Amino acid sequence: MTASAPKAARPATLEDLLAIPEEERRHELIEGSIVEKGAATGEHGAVQRKLSAYVDPYDQRPGGRRPGGWWFATEVDVHFDAANTVRPDVVGWRRDRVPERPRGIPIMVRLDWICEILSTNKRNDLIKKKRVYHRHQVPHYWIIDPEEETLAVYRWTQEGYVEILAAERGEQVRAEPFEATPLQVGVLFGDDEDDEPVREP
């Protein structure tokens, strides 16, 4: 009598993710597996706050004194498909495509911009989640690395994300899709706006 092969574990689902008590749910569903979201360092939280302040002028209706035209959220669950419901660090939707602020748990509306801030679980942001975002045609993907003090900006193409900007502390850039406002990269990592002049890459 031959032993039968062990049954493969079934992929996790959104229902499995939502079954985790909300107060304990620091998890994501990535490629059919429930993964605990990496612990956020102090640097991670500081970068997230500074980035939110940078994009804040876009978080209103267009046509005013500030650029406007976007909705933003931090640390919200976003559903992509049966195998993927993730919690990016900062996300945005263009108001001309999404007239009302997306709601619900998880949010079901495709994103226009995602920023991941690297922490203890870098591999997911750099590989697995990046694949998911590309497959679902998220046009803009930023990766901020607090340890290396760098910003990488990616643009969606059919073949894959193309890096269109790489910048480090000490540089000032205009990073799409927010190129209307210059970004002093060092501000994300603790510099003050009025620190010594920065160079354009």
C-alpha distance from residue 180 to each of 67, 133, 145 (Å): 7, 24, 23
pTM for this entry: 0.90
Amino acid at 160: G
Q: Flag whether pLDDT at 182 surpasses 80.
A: yes
pLDDT at 75 over 70: yes
- Could you give all domains of the chain from N- to C-terminal order, each with its CATH number? 40-189 (3.90.1570.10)
When pLDDT is averaged across residues 85-101 and rounded to a whole number, the result is: 97
Give pLDDT, residue 63: 81
Average pLDDT over residues 108-127: 94
Residue type, 17: L
> Is 2 a residue whose pLDDT tops 80?
no
Q: Is the peptide bond before 106 cis (omega within 30 degrees of 0)?
A: yes
